[in-house]
Amino acid sequence: MGQKLAGKVAVITGGGGGIGKNVALGLAAEGASVVINDFGTGPDGIKLAEKAAAEVKKAGGKAVASFDSVTTVVSAEKIINAAISNFGRVDILVNCAGNMVGTSTLEITQEQWDATLAIHIGGHFACSQAAAKEMVKQKSGGSIINFASRGAFPFWGSAGSSYAVAKAGILGFTTALSQELKKYDIRVNAICPNASTPLFPSSDPRGGMGIPKTTSLDPSDIAPLIVYLVMDPAKNITGQFIYAAGGDFCIFDRPLQPKLYIRKIGKWTVDELGEVIPSLGLGQ
């Protein structure tokens, strides 16, 4: 067990399996006390959060399980209060909880759409608000890691518009929250992982969007980057979108960076636009 995070307390939502569980194990291995939140249940009937917490303890770490939903302010406060009541503080929040419907816009139901946004957007908001309030009171900074995705701008075949909207919203939330909390020395970053997970199981290398195909899809590969980002040496890193897969990571530029800028003095006419726009190759 390392001690780079000794005395720190972390909350990991969606921490019962996949990337979230590996992040919890990685944080605990560096001395952080962890609250593992997940309402899922395994095929044996045991709560996934309980299993993950037991795994952390077996490895010599400190952990408690939480089963509350991330989707409301009230339940999110209970998740953060689990850190306060058991370990006295909260320094790190990893918003890893998510879901995926994968249904097209023409077929998705209102309930499916709402459920996707409730867990992703609602969960990131509610848990971040509850954690940030405590971090501000503690006056010792803090770190929030959000989980976005390249699926915010699908390129390989959509996982569904609700998923794209949710993940794009998390990128916007990360940008705004990082600016709001900077004065409190609380940094906020977004991870766009590429790994085989319960939501996206795969054994085939995956790339695209200028990213080479992966050399590994092991979800444990994502954890070290997150552990580093919540450590003191990374205290000035905030508002970043970071891709992680295997031994790869990539710093993404901001969305909406100008690709082509054209100005005329005065108002465009439809005929003028009809002459200029076709020459830009937008439909090619």
Cα dihedral 160, 158, 173, 194, rounded to 10, equals 120
Higher pLDDT, 195 or 222: 222
Query: What span, in angstroms and rounded, lies between the C-alpha atoms of 147 and 143?
Result: 13
C-alpha closest to that of 127 among 64, 78, 172? 78
Strand order in the sheet with 9-13: 63-66, 33-37, 9-13, 92-95, 142-147, 186-193, 241-245, 248-252
Q: Cα–Cα distance between 84 and 144 in angstroms, integer? A: 16
| pLDDT tens track for 208-258 | 677 788 788 888 999 999 999 999 999 999 999 999 998 888 999 888 888
Verify whether residue 163 is a known catalytic residue.
yes
- The pLDDT score that the predictor gives to residue 201 is 64
pTM > 0.85: yes or no: yes
Q: Report pLDDT digits (tens) over 96-122.
A: 999 888 888 999 999 999 999 999 999
Taking domain 9-257, whether its CATH number is 3.40.50.150 is answered by no
Euclidean distance between CA atoms 202 and 156, whole angstroms: 14
- CB-based contact 240:192 (threshold 8 Å): no
DSSP 229: H
Strand bridging mode 142-147 / 9-13: unpaired
Q: What b/e readout covers 158-189, taking b as 16+ CB neighbours within 10 angstroms?
A: ebbbbbbbbbbbbbebbbebbeebeebbbbbb
**pLDDT at position 2, please?**
81
Active-site residue, selected from the candidate residues 163, 184, 228, 243:
163
Domain spans, the chain: 9-257
